Structure 1
Amino acid sequence: MIRHLVLFRLNDGVRREEPRVRAGAEAFRALGGEIEELRFWECAWNITERPIAYDFAINSAVEDAEALRRYLEHPAHQAAAALWREFATWVIADYEF
């Protein structure tokens, strides 16, 4: 199994309440039931206020590297990521477990 972790940071001046940000979060929430390669899926807003904290997180798992590739290339994932490119940056970690 591969764990796929993503941490998002909203760009300066961008707020969670903005319609485009809400739409981006909803697009990622929907992926859990939409992409069959996903074996585990959760995403949520950070609940703490620390200077080093990111704003939004995805914690997911897929079977193997090929499943990860299919997930990343899936049109729904590509569309959700495109929304976030407009207002955030992110870091990713993928590891086997």
Structure 2
Amino acid sequence: MITHIVLFKLKDGIDRDTKQVAEAVAYAREVGHQVPELVDWRVGWNTVDRDISYDFAAIGVLADLPALQRYQENDFHRLAIEKWRLISDWVVADLEDQ
């Protein structure tokens, strides 16, 4: 199993209440329904505000590395990425179960 973790930091001047952010969040939530390779999908806002915190997270579980590759190539997932690219920077980690 692969756990795919993405942490988003809103760009300076971008507020959670903007239309662009609401749209990106809606797309992020829908990824879990549109990408068949996902075994599990969780998204949400960070609940604790710290200097080192990111604002929003997406965590997906996939069966294996080929499933992760198909997820990355999925058209709906790519649309979601474009929404987030406009409003945030992010980091990604992919953990393989041992």
Smaller-chain TM-score range?
over 0.9
Q: Give RMSD over aligned pairs.
A: 0.6
**3-state SS of paired residue (2:20):** helix
Instruction: Please state which structure has a larger fraction of its residues in helix.
Output: 2
Gaps of 5+ in 1: none
What residue in structure 2 maps to residue 50 of structure 1?
50
- What TM-score, normalized by structure 1, do the two folds share? 0.98
Note the 1:2-13 alignment, pairs <5 A.
2-13=2-13
Q: Deviations over 1:37-93 (max 9, x none)?
A: 000100001111111000000111101111000001100000000011111000000
**Secondary structure at 2:23 match in 1:** helix
State the aligned residue count. Answer: 97
CA distance, structure 2, for counterparts of residue 76 and residue 10 of structure 1:
21
Task: Name the counterpart of 2:37.
Answer: 37
Moved over 3 A (4+): none
Mark the runs of 5 or more structure 2 residues left unpaired by the alignment: none
